[in-house]
Structure 1
Amino acid sequence: MKKVVTAFLLACTAVAVPMGVSMAQDAKLAPISDYVTSDIKPWLNDPVIIEAIKAQNAANANLGQADIDALDKKWRAEVDGSDHSMIDGVLGNALSKFLQEKKAASNGKIAEIFVMDAKGLNVGQSDPTSDYWQGDEGKFQKSFGAGKDAVFVDDIEKDESTQALQSQASVTISDDKGTPIGAITVGVNVDAL
């Protein structure tokens, strides 16, 4: 009987420790999730966002993985190079201007914002990102890939693009029929919340 009780207690400890870590992490991320719900989600159905995603989805409908990889490679080369025509084209569009205004109005709470199409390619952004294709990353796979109304809040870390401590919160964006069409990622400055 003593062995059974000891084994039971060890099993409970093995389960409780990871749950405690998870619950602590969830507690750290709760203010970020609350901020996304109260301050980000209300403007996700703005026509500027929806129409830009729909237009890019139509334009990119026939892109294969090799095409996506080539676009991402070009973008990454522009990040470190002197030719920024692709990056400037995205940063200069109406959606990017809208996102830049949202970032500016956030009083430092938003470090960066970018919107992705159904393939995970950037449609608009507040600031240049380190890459163009997000489709292979958790921020896209755990939001758009999880379907309608999905919200994914990632761990707090130093972001390569902004050099700030932040958490990236990603939300699926759906059209007026509820069909997922893309996603948004918001880099939230946790110290500003």
Structure 2
Amino acid sequence: MKTLVSTVALVGVTAMWLGSASANEFRPQLEALLATEIAPWLSDATVVDAVKASNAEHAGLSDGDVEALDKTWREEAESGSGPLIDRILGNELSTLLSERKAAMEGKVSEMFVMDNRGLNVGQSDITSDFWQGDEDKWQKTYAVGPDAVFIDEVEFDDSAEAFLSQVSKTIVDPQTGEAIGAITVGVNVENLF
């Protein structure tokens, strides 16, 4: 009983402390994590080649096609798998992202890469939707340009049972310097210290 009371008290204090915190209060730590543990491998051929291939594959999609893919993904996500999800989670980029997430030892809850349409290219975990193009994580990175970084507010994530901030960055073709996609990393701010 004493352990339960202590745990509840610790969670309560942490929640009050983090509840008033915004991503900006953690910005230096999040930027350092991005610079030292994420950005160095974003020019890896596995990342760049996968994003370029996805850009080529999705170049001719209409808005209706994107909506249909997103609808299919959402339906598959509800059941936990399906052909689209299995194809994305089974690719080389998703394997790399899962390995990078594991190597970060609890600092990261998820990683996913998007193409120039905002569609998922690879991910460490199943996202709730396939199309991110209508969200800040894509609109404030890829859509802004090669040097863009977006650090979102800290929020409590029920599924992860942790306080997270999403850190997003444009992915650049190292040959041309042009923006080709973006990455989003869900960071557990409690584990930054």
Q: Same fold (TM over 0.5)?
A: yes
Number of corresponding residues: 171
**1:172-183 matches, cutoff 5 A:** 172-176=170-174, 177-183=176-182
**1:51-130 matches, cutoff 5 A:** 51-81=49-79, 84-130=82-128
Structure 1: distance between partners of 2:84 and 2:22: 41
User: Gaps spanning 5+ residues in structure 2: where?
Assistant: 1-20
CA shift at 1:39, angstroms?
1.1
Name the stretch that deviates more: 26-35 or 125-134: 26-35
Change (3 A) 1:175 1:82: closer
Root-mean-square deviation over aligned CA pairs? 1.7
Structure 2: which amino acid aligns with 1:155?
Answer: E
Structure 1: distance between partners of 2:23 and 2:160: 22
Structure 2: which amino acid aligns with 1:165?
Answer: F
Change (3 A) 1:87 1:143: same
**Residue in structure 1 matched with residue 41 of structure 2 by the alignment:** 43
CA shift at 1:161, angstroms?
6.0
User: Gaps spanning 5+ residues in structure 1: where?
Assistant: 1-22
**Residue in structure 1 matched with residue 32 of structure 2 by the alignment:** 34
CA contact (8 A) 2:22 2:154 kept: no
CA contact (8 A) 2:23 2:165 kept: no
Higher Cα Rg: structure 1 or 2?
1
Where 2:118 maps in the other structure, the secondary structure is coil
Deviations 1:130-171 (CA, angstroms, capped at 9, x unpaired): 000000000100011110111100001134664532100000
Structure 1: distance between partners of 2:22 and 2:125: 31
**1:20-31 matches, cutoff 5 A:** 26-31=24-29
CA contact (8 A) 1:116 1:183 kept: yes
Structure 2: which amino acid aligns with 1:52?
Answer: A
Q: How does the TM-score come out when normalised to structure 1? A: 0.84
Structure 2: distance between partners of 1:82 and 1:189: 23
Structure 1: which amino acid aligns with 2:37?
Answer: D
CA shift at 1:59, angstroms?
0.7
Name the stretch that deviates more: 34-43 or 48-57: 34-43
CA contact (8 A) 1:130 1:160 kept: no
Q: How does the TM-score come out when normalised to structure 2? A: 0.84
CA contact (8 A) 2:164 2:189 kept: yes
Change (3 A) 1:48 1:160: farther
**Residue in structure 1 matched with residue 184 of structure 2 by the alignment:** 185
Structure 1: distance between partners of 2:112 and 2:104: 15
Structure 2: distance between partners of 1:104 and 1:167: 18
CA contact (8 A) 1:128 1:161 kept: no
Structure 2: distance between partners of 1:66 and 1:47: 31
